[in-house]
Amino acid sequence: MDAMNTEDISTTQNEEIWQNAILVGLQTDQKDDVFERMMEELEQLAEACHIYTIAVFTQRAQNPVHATYIGSGKVAEVAHAVKELEAAYVIFDQTLSPMQFRNLNKELGVEVMDRTGLILRIFAEQARTREARLQVEHAQLQYIMPRLAGMWTHLGRQAGSSGSMSNRGIGETQLELDRRHIERRMAELEKELKGIAKERTTQREKRLRSGIPRVSLVGYTNAGKSTIMNRLLAINENPLDGKNVLEQDKLFATLDTTVRKIQPKGERPILLSDTVGFIDELPTSLVKAFRSTLEEVKYADLLIQVIDYSDSDYRACMKVTEETLREIGAAGIPMICVFNKADLVHDLPYEIPAVRNDSIYMSAGTGIGIRQLWELISKKLRENMQECQFHIPYTQGSILHRLQESAEVLSVDYQAEGIAVTARCGDEIKNRYQEFAVGVDAVI
Ligand SMILES: Nc1nc2c(ncn2[C@@H]2O[C@H](COP(=O)(O)OP(=O)(O)OP(=O)(O)O)[C@@H](O)[C@H]2O)c(=O)[nH]1
Ligand SMILES: [Mg+2]
C-alpha cells in the first residue's frame, strides 16, 4: 500500500467494480456464536466496499501470533488459496499491528486489509459533506501514521544506515518526509474541522433557542434509522422533495447528521435528527473524528434507539449502542426503544404494532406501527414538559409571540395589567422566561 495515497481511496473505488477477497478470522476467547457473528459482519463490511467473499479461513488460538497474527501453517494455507482462487484481497477480522501488516502483505502476495482499514474505506466512500470527508481523511492519516515505519524500514536497512543524519538510508529519509507531510496535513484538517464545528455549534444554539423539542435517532448501523426518519416525515405530510434521507441495505449508508423539522398539522413541531450508525469496536480514530457530528445526539431531549429485532443478536447491538452513547456523553437522555424489522421475525410475542411502556415493536419497512411511534414520541416529549403560567406586560408583547413559537400555549387571557398565559414547556423555555413566570410552577 502506498503511504501517500490516502486521499485517493474514495475516488479509486468505482461503484460498479466488484472485487473478491478471502476472509481470515482468529477465534481467541470469543464464544462460537459471537465469533460467527463477527465474521458475518466482516463479510457485510466487505460488501459495503464492493468486495465479495470467496473463502473464509478461521483458526483457534489463545493469542495471536506476534509476527503474523495467525500461525505459519495457516499463512501458507491462505497463500495457497490466494493463488488458487485469484483473490484480490485478504481481510483480517481484527486490527493488525504494523508488523503483522507488513509481514502478511509480503507472505500472501496480495493486498492485506484489516477490519479498521475496511471501515475507514467505507467511510471514505460514503462521506458526502465536506465535514465528513475531512473527518474521514483525518482518521485515515491517523491509521497510517504508526504503519509508516513498518513500510520503510526494509529500505533503511538496505541503504546501510549508520544512524547519523548525513548517512541515513533512503527509507528513513522518505519516512521522515512522509511523516512531516502527514503531520502537516493533519494539523490543517484539525484547523478546518474546528471551524466547521464552530459553525455547527452556532446552528445548534439557534435551534436550542427556538425551544422546539429535539429528537435523535440512534442505533447500530443498518437497523432502519433513516427509514424511520423518512416515514415520520411522510406521515406528517411534510413536503418530501429532496428531503428524504438515504435508506439502503448497506452498513454505514448514513455518515452525516441530518436534521429535519417535522411540522404536523395542529401539533407542535419537532426537530428530528438522523446520524451515523454505531458498530462494535468502532475504530477509536473514527469515534474521535466523528465526535462533533455525534455531538448533535448529546443535545437531544429524546433519543429513539432503533434496533434490528430480526437480528438474533440484537441484545449485543443494544449494548454497543448504549456504550457508545455513554462514550459521547449522551447517557441519561430519555429514550424510546424501537424494535424494528419485526416483519422478519417468526413467532413474535406480540402482534405488531405493539407498544410496551417506552418500547415499540414495529416495521418501518412496511410502515406498520409508524403512527403509534409518532404518538409515543409525542407522549414522551409531553412527559418532559410542565404546565407553566406567565404574566407578560403589554410593553413586552413580543414575548407572547415567542412563547407561541416555542411552547404549547394552552390559554391567553388579556387582563387589565398584562397578558396571562398558560403554556406547556420544557426547562429550557421555562428558564428563559423565568422573570415572567408566576404561580406554583414558577422557576425559583
Ligand atoms: N424487512 C424490513 N427491512 C427494513 C425495515 N426497516 C428498514 N429496512 C431496510 O433495512 C435497510 C437499512 O435501513 P436504513 O434505514 O438505511 O438503516 P440505517 O439504520 O439508517 O443504517 P445506516 O445509515 O447504514 O447506519 C434498508 O434496506 C431498509 O429498507 C423493516 O422494518 N423491515
Ligand atoms: Mg441511515
Ligand 1 lined by 321 (C-beta under 6 Å) = no
In order of 49, 212, 268, 365, 397, the CA distances from 226 in angstroms are 20, 21, 22, 11, 41
Residue to mutate (ligand 1; options 123, 222, 254, 373; most atoms within 8 A of CB): 222
Per-residue pLDDT tens for 299-330? 899 999 999 999 988 999 999 999 999 988 89
d(C-alpha 297, C-alpha 335), whole Å: 12
Q: 113 with 137, same domain? A: no
Q: 162 with 293, same domain? A: no
The pLDDT score that the predictor gives to residue 9 is: 39
Residue to mutate (ligand 1; options 47, 123, 221, 226; most atoms within 8 A of CB): 226
Per-residue pLDDT tens for 410-426? 899 999 989 999 998 87
Q: 236 with 373, same domain? A: yes
The pLDDT score that the predictor gives to residue 444 is: 37
**CATH number of the domain residue 399 falls in:** 3.30.70
Ligand 1 lined by 340 (C-beta under 6 Å) = yes
219 CA distance to ligand 1 centroid (A)? 11
At 391, give phi and psi (nearest 5°). Answer: -125, 110
d(C-alpha 417, C-alpha 391), whole Å: 9
CB–CB of 330/321 below 8 Å? Answer: no
Give the pLDDT mean for 248-274: 86
Residue to mutate (ligand 1; options 123, 227, 304, 306; most atoms within 8 A of CB): 227
Q: 251 with 310, same domain? A: yes
The pLDDT score that the predictor gives to residue 157 is: 41
Per-residue pLDDT tens for 240-255? 555 678 888 888 888 8
Q: Is residue 217 part of a domain?
A: yes
Domain that holds residue 361: 211-383
Ligand 1 lined by 12 (C-beta under 6 Å) = no
> Which amino acid is located at 168 in the chain?
R
Q: 73 with 119, same domain? A: yes
Q: 19 with 106, same domain? A: yes
Q: Is residue 444 part of a domain?
A: no
Number of domains in the chain: 4
How far is residue 152 CA from its own chain's centroid?
34
d(C-alpha 370, C-alpha 367), whole Å: 6
Region for residue 178 given its phi and psi (left: phi exceeds 0; alpha: psi -120 to 50; beta: otherwise): alpha
- Sheet containing strand 408-415, edge to edge, reads 408-415, 418-425, 386-392, 437-438
Domain boundary at 126, 152, 184, which? 126
Per-residue pLDDT tens for 132-183? 889 889 999 988 888 775 554 334 444 444 444 444 566 667 778 888 999 9
What is the helix (H) or strand (E) element at residue 361, kind and residue range? strand 359-361
Task: Tell me the three cell numbers of residue 194.
Answer: 474546528
The answer to whether residue 74 scores a pLDDT higher than 90 is yes
pLDDT greater at residue 31 or residue 442: 31
Q: Is residue 396 part of a domain?
A: yes
Residue nearest to atom 1 of ligand 1 (CA): 341
Ligand 1 lined by 273 (C-beta under 6 Å) = no
Q: 187 with 226, same domain? A: no
CB–CB of 152/174 below 8 Å? Answer: yes
Helix (H, G, I), strand (E, B) or coil at 53: strand
Domain boundary at 97, 126, 155, which? 126
10 Å Cβ neighbour count for 425? 24
Ligand 1 atom with least separation from CA of 247? 16
Q: 167 with 248, same domain? A: no
Ligand 1 lined by 418 (C-beta under 6 Å) = no
Ligand 1 atom with least separation from CA of 254? 23
Q: Which ligand is nearest to the CA of 249?
A: 1
Ligand 1 atom with least separation from CA of 364? 31
Name the pLDDT band for 5 (thresholds 50, 70, 90). Answer: very low
Helix (H, G, I), strand (E, B) or coil at 28: coil
Q: 120 with 143, same domain? A: no
Per-residue pLDDT tens for 75-104? 999 999 999 999 999 999 998 998 998 899
